[in-house]
């Protein structure tokens, strides 16, 4: 395949993006599907450059472009990219500039309740930033609810095993034709302004 494709895995802090991203990668490895993985949280870590600072966005894009060029030179065409708000339309240009204007983009948002996110963050954040992370997680959840494009696939994580979540995330792509819950689980319905929204079919059965 010549066209580059990126699977964007977004979601609030504490939802399990990194863990799910690596489990998706494990499924790809088991099926011998060439791909690469980038954790977007590390692409813009420069200080001082507070959240929202244009310098952080610029360095993240430059780092993504540099990494992808190395992967692409070696023949890779599929990328798993995890980052909280990667799915937002405002970030689409970054991937088009870094990976090519015709890059295929699949958007997935992992969701979790406030209680679940706090529990996971409490187990993860052993330093001084727990409350800051909890507040930021709730704020990003609201942003994703309001601004995620209509073609974004939402996958609930509360009370579910990582392998089941990853199976559903993979099902949002066409990367593994043998995965139960591939594109046949989805249908397009009219959304606001007549734009089709991709949703899970209510009559689709799950193999989880």
Domains of the chain from N-terminus onward:
5-200 (3.40.50.300)
Is residue 82 within 8 A of residue 21, CB to CB? The reply is: yes
pLDDT of residue 57: 86
pLDDT of residue 189: 41
Question: 78-82 and 104-111: which strand pairing?
Answer: unpaired
Q: In the chain, which stretches have pLDDT less than 70?
A: 1, 49-52, 126, 178-208
pLDDT of residue 208: 32
pLDDT of residue 1: 65
Those residues whose C-beta lies under 8 Å from the C-beta of residue 181, and which sit 6 or more positions away, are: 167, 168, 171, 204, 206, 207
| Bridge partners for 154 per DSSP | 109
pLDDT tens digits, one per residue of 184-208: 344 444 443 343 444 433 333 333 3
pLDDT of residue 40: 94
């Amino acid at each position: 395949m010549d066209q580059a494709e990126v699977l964007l895995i977004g979601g609030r802090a504490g939802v399990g993006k990194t863990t799910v991203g690596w489990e998706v990668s494990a499924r790809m490895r088991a099926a011998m599907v060439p791909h690469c993985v980038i954790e977007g949280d590390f692409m813009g870590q420069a200080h001082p450059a507070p959240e929202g600072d244009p310098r952080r966005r610029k360095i993240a894009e430059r780092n993504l472009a540099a990494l992808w060029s190395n992967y692409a030179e070696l023949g890779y065409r599929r990328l798993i990219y995890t980052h909280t708000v990667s799915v937002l339309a405002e970030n689409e240009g970054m991937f088009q500039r870094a990976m090519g204007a015709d890059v295929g983009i699949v958007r997935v948002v992992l969701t979790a309740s406030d209680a679940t996110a706090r529990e996971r963050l409490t187990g993860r954040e052993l330093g001084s930033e727990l409350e800051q992370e909890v507040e930021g997680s709730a704020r990003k959840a609201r942003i994703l609810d309001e601004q995620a494009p209509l073609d974004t696939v939402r996958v609930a994580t509360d009370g579910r095993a990582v392998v089941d979540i990853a199976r559903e995330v993979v099902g949002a792509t066409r990367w593994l034709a043998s995965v139960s819950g591939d594109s046949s689980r989805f249908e397009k319905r009219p959304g606001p302004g007549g734009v089709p929204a991709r949703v899970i079919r209510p009559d689709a059965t799950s193999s989880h």
